[in-house]
Structure 1
């Protein structure tokens, strides 16, 4: 697409880094790819790598929690940041504040009950089996749905603040009140 991009690829050792040859070939035409093997150079300096980014430059990060924490800390508040975790964060659909509520599926005209401890995804799929999903842990985004009414209890780490205004990941997020209306 001609978009400018850079990749900082880190790992414990070159031998443990999947697709290293292919990734290095992607960057063969300049300074787009920086490879940092921990056994050779220590941890990547993410603060230096992120210095001077334009305010609207999206940053994508996948890796262990300490790396993602360092990336988030190096960016100004509100900078576009997209995280993909190796595992789901501590929030889950059966945690505190997991009481029962109902979900109206506006386009289909159905209303489904969501039991305490049950995910919105499970309740919705019982009534509408075609709803897409994948990880069921709140980090892939496949089950993202638009919310038309109701107060969302976000329990994911994927959605941006803007996306959280009118959508939710129905595999982990819940309702802060008694009712949600989804655009389904």
Structure 2
């Protein structure tokens, strides 16, 4: 769907599509067709045939202002981040959310508009604690990818664990499905 939307918009794009083997790569035929024969927009790297992809070579020449999207294992995302050309933005989607409960502590969240305060245990998400008080609080992925649970932060320091928000967006908001407080208290505009 993402490639079709970019293609329909007429925007330039290139895709590095890697996997263990061609047989294990979903939608491979469709992706190759969308890339167009001989147009060089799709590079397929099957590890059993080609080894690991050369991410740095693929990204070389990517123009400033380009958005680079990556989904895959942690090592791939680290390689892309290390090779990202200056002036490009990186957008990642992990197979599993990058969260940790080791060292997490309990904290309190004040819901300013509703006048409520909720306790968030060390092993509970802000979303779960808030939904216990406000069951209609919107959410979808619960992994920090989609942005449905984004809330404005009025006070407090945020431990961002999402993969979606830009640095500017992180200044005053958080995804409550994965992100937490860095201190003892957060105030949300809810």
TM-score interval, normalised by the smaller of the two chains: 0.7 to 0.9
TM (norm. structure 2) is 0.83
Structure 2 match to 1:175: 181
Structure 1 match to 2:30: 22
> Would you say 1:96 and 2:142 are equivalent positions?
no
In 2, Cα distance between equivalents of 1:19 and 1:74: 26
1:23-50: CA deviations, max 9, x gaps? 1111116222121212222221111111
1:85-131: CA deviations, max 9, x gaps? 11122x33x33141222x23334343323234321111111122122
Structure 2 match to 1:87: 96
Q: Which has the higher helix share?
A: 2
> Would you say 1:6 and 2:14 are equivalent positions?
yes
8 Å CA contact retained: 2:153, 2:188? yes
Structure 1 residues not aligned, in runs of 5+? none
- Residues 146-161 of structure 1 mapped to structure 2, 5 A cutoff: 146-161=152-167
In 1, Cα distance between equivalents of 2:96 and 2:150: 18
SS across alignment from 1:48: helix
> Would you say 1:31 and 2:40 are equivalent positions?
yes
Structure 1 match to 2:133: 127
More moved, 151-160 vs 51-60: 151-160
Structure 2 match to 1:50: 59
Displacement of 1:158 in angstroms is 4.0
Displacement of 1:71 in angstroms is 0.5
Displacement of 1:175 in angstroms is 1.3
In 2, Cα distance between equivalents of 1:123 and 1:95: 19
Aligned residues: 181
TM (norm. structure 1) is 0.85
In 1, Cα distance between equivalents of 2:72 and 2:103: 27
Task: Tell me how large the CA RMSD over aligned residues is.
Answer: 2.2
Displacement of 1:170 in angstroms is 1.0
8 Å CA contact retained: 1:95, 1:117? no
Higher RCO (CA 8 Å, separation ≥ 6 residues): 1
Structure 2 residues not aligned, in runs of 5+? 1-8
User: Residues 57 and 83 from structure 1, CA distance in 2 versus in 1: closer, same or farther, beyond 3 angstroms?
Assistant: same
Displacement of 1:140 in angstroms is 4.4
